[in-house]
Amino acid sequence: MYNNSYSVSRIAITGLWLLLVLLVSTASADSYARMTERKAMVEEIEADVRDTSRYIGRKELDPRVIQAMQDVPRHEFVSDRYDDDAYLNMPLPIGHGQTISQPYIVALMTDLIGAQSSDRILEIGTGSGYQAAILAELAAEVYSIEIVEPLAVLAKERLERLHYKNIQVRFGDGYHGWPEQAPFDAIVVTAAASHIPPPLVQQLKPGGRMIIPVGSRFMVQQLTLLEKDLQGNVSTRQMLPVRFVPLTSNNK
């Protein structure tokens, strides 16, 4: 009787251990698989950067940006429906008619503002929170505004769950920026607008940079980089996300 119950509990304990080992190994296999997918995505981004170097003025991205793209789990920012596609180099719907940007665009925008570890960055258009997470890996503080309330709530919860302590998300109209926290070293606008909101230009520090995509979500055509020099003079530069239009044909 004793022996029997002893062997039963041994079997039970062994079983539990096996289950635990199975769960842990499944989880690590899963995270390993995700890491591999992220690595492949990053390699694709790097290839894109090389292909488009003529237009974006660089052959490779800042290694810190690459590392951030490698570290942030994009699959946490998409719905279950698109989980399998999370690391494809393409935009994906996130509900409410919004999309999570193409990873190449996220990496490029992050690189173009040249974020430093002491920087305070403003983001307009939180969306899923993915871009904010990438920025948070590189900068000291990230302030992000989202105009669609449910998205703002969701992104805030998600970023808290993923322990991003240096990101603040607020629901509101990004047109006026975040004057209480201004000025910013850099501003990232992820939603296309009909013009660059003047309040945002005012909230940019001298020497700061702002990046804005021009065009619709599904067909982002051009990124615009706004630079404010130390005297406060503003100039803009439009470049192509040549992922779409490599302009390889003759004489163009």
Partner 1 sequence: MIGKGRLPLFSIALLSASALATELYLVRLFAIIQWHHAAYMVISLALLGYGVSGTMLALARQQALARFGFYYPVLILLFALTLPLCLWLAQRLDFNTELLLWQAGAWLGMVGVYLLLALPFLFAAAAIGLALDAATTRVAQLYAADLGGAGLGALCLVVLLTVLPISDIPAALVTLSLLAAAIALLELGQPIRLAIPVIAALIIGVWLLPEGLNRPQVSEFKPLSEILRIKGAQQIDERSGPLGLLTLVENKEVPLRHAPGLSLHTPRIPGQQMALFEDASGMSAIIKIEKNQPLEWLKWMPSALPYYLSRPHRVLIVGAGGGMEALQALEMTDAIVDVVEPNDHRLELLRPEYDDPESNRRLHYHHAEVREFLQRSTIAYDLIVFGPGGAGGGASGMQALDTQYTQTIEAYREYLDHLTLTGRVAITSWLQLPPRGMLKHIATAIEVLKGNGSIEASNNLMVIRSLQTATLLFGTGSFSEGEINALMTFSKSRGFDISWYPGMVASQSNRYNRLPQPWLYEGVSRLLGEQDDDYIDAYKFDIRPVTDDRPYFSHFFRWSLLGEILSNRGKGGMSLVEGGYLLLLVTLIQAVVAGILLILFPLGLRRRQTGISSKSLVSAAGYFLCLGLAFLLIEIAFIERLTLLLGHPLYSVAVALVGFLVFAGIGSAFTRPLVSYLGIRHLLWLSTALIITAATFHLIAGGWMLQTVRGMPEEVRIPVVLLLIAPLALPMGIPFPLGLSWLAQSAPAFTPWAWGLNGFASVVSAVLAILIALHWGFSTVIFVAVVLYLVSALLLPNAIRNHQP
Q: Which of 45, 49, 78, 89 binds partner 1 (CB under 8 A)?
A: 89
Alpha carbon of 233 to those of 194, 205, 239: distances in Å? 22, 11, 20
| Residue 36: HSE in the Cβ half-sphere, 13 Å Cα cutoff | 6
Q: Which of 32, 83, 96, 157 binds partner 1 (CB under 8 A)?
A: 96
Q: Which of 90, 140, 162, 182 binds partner 1 (CB under 8 A)?
A: 90
Residues 220, 235: Cα–Cα separation, whole Å: 21
Residues 114, 30: Cα–Cα separation, whole Å: 33
| Cis-peptide into 150, omega within 30 deg | no
Residue 149 lies near partner 1 (rule: CB under 8 A): yes
Residue 195 lies near partner 1 (rule: CB under 8 A): yes
Residue 236 lies near partner 1 (rule: CB under 8 A): yes
In the complex, the smallest distance separating the C-beta of residue 242 from partner 1, rounded to whole angstroms, is 9
CB 100, CB 130: distance < 8 Å: yes
- The set of catalytic residues is 101
Identify which range of 10-18, 131-139, 178-186, 212-220 contacts partner 1 by CB under 8 A: 212-220
With contacts defined by CB under 8 A, how many residues of the chain interact with partner 1?
49
Q: Give the SS3 label for residue 93.
A: strand
CB 142, CB 135: distance < 8 Å: yes
Residue 140 lies near partner 1 (rule: CB under 8 A): no
Using the minimum distance from each CB to partner 1, give the nearer residue, 1 or 219: 219
In the complex, the smallest distance separating the C-beta of residue 225 from partner 1, rounded to whole angstroms, is 9
Q: DSSP letter at 128?
A: T
Residue 231 lies near partner 1 (rule: CB under 8 A): no
Residue 251 lies near partner 1 (rule: CB under 8 A): yes
Residues 220, 183: Cα–Cα separation, whole Å: 28
Residue 59 lies near partner 1 (rule: CB under 8 A): no
Q: Which of 61, 135, 167, 220 binds partner 1 (CB under 8 A)?
A: 220
**Residue 104 φ then ψ, to 5°:** -60, -40
Residue 240 lies near partner 1 (rule: CB under 8 A): yes
Residue 175 lies near partner 1 (rule: CB under 8 A): yes
Q: DSSP letter at 58?
A: -
